[in-house]
Amino acid sequence: DGGITQSPKYLFRKEGQNVTLSCEQNLNHDAMYWYRQDPGQGLRLIYYSQIVNDFQKGDIAEGYSVSREKKESFPLTVTSAQKNPTAFYLCATSIRDTYEQYFGPGTRLTVT
């Protein structure tokens, strides 16, 4: 089945540790995105990538890093520099030049 996989669904970390969230897709979409969602708020863009080996900062990139070595994969690292990392993280993809974004099931990260 075609789709977007994010693992794990729930992730717990201690403060000061880096953590990497996985996003894999087999839709053959060119563009991939990472969003953060906090309670009572909409989605805010962290990073996006339109092609392999290229990515751009979104609105809230500080404290995060990404890589895009393969078309299918766009992992997000939440570094210790991120002040408030506890949130729900959503990965999305889109076919280049079209508008609809397809979302993965999300990862809920809790940092204590």
Partner 1 sequence: AQKITQTQPGMFVQEKEAVTLDCTYDTSDPSYGLFWYKQPSSGEMIFLIYQGSYDQQNATEGRYSLNFQKARKSANLVISASQLGDSAMYFCAMREGLRGYQKVTFGTGTKLQVIP
Closer residue to partner 1 in complex, CB, 43/80: 43
Q: Should residue 80 be labelled a site residue for partner 1 when binding is judged by CB under 8 A?
A: no
Q: Should residue 48 be labelled a site residue for partner 1 when binding is judged by CB under 8 A?
A: yes
Q: Should residue 17 be labelled a site residue for partner 1 when binding is judged by CB under 8 A?
A: no
Q: Should residue 106 be labelled a site residue for partner 1 when binding is judged by CB under 8 A?
A: yes
Least distance in angstroms from the C-beta of 80 to partner 1: 25
* Sequence-distant (≥ 6) Cβ neighbours of residue 30 within 8 angstroms: 50, 51, 71, 94, 95, 96
Let me know: does 105 contact 25? Beta carbons within 8 Å. no
Find the binder of partner 1 among 21, 46, 92, 109 (CB under 8 A).
92
Residues in the chain: 112
* Sequence-distant (≥ 6) Cβ neighbours of residue 89 within 8 angstroms: 6, 21, 34, 35, 36, 37, 46, 76, 106, 107, 108, 109
The count of other CB atoms within 10 Å of the CB of residue 12 is: 12
Find the binder of partner 1 among 29, 66, 82, 104 (CB under 8 A).
104
Residues that bind partner 1 (CB under 8 A): 31, 40-45, 48, 50, 56, 58, 88, 90, 92, 99-106, 108
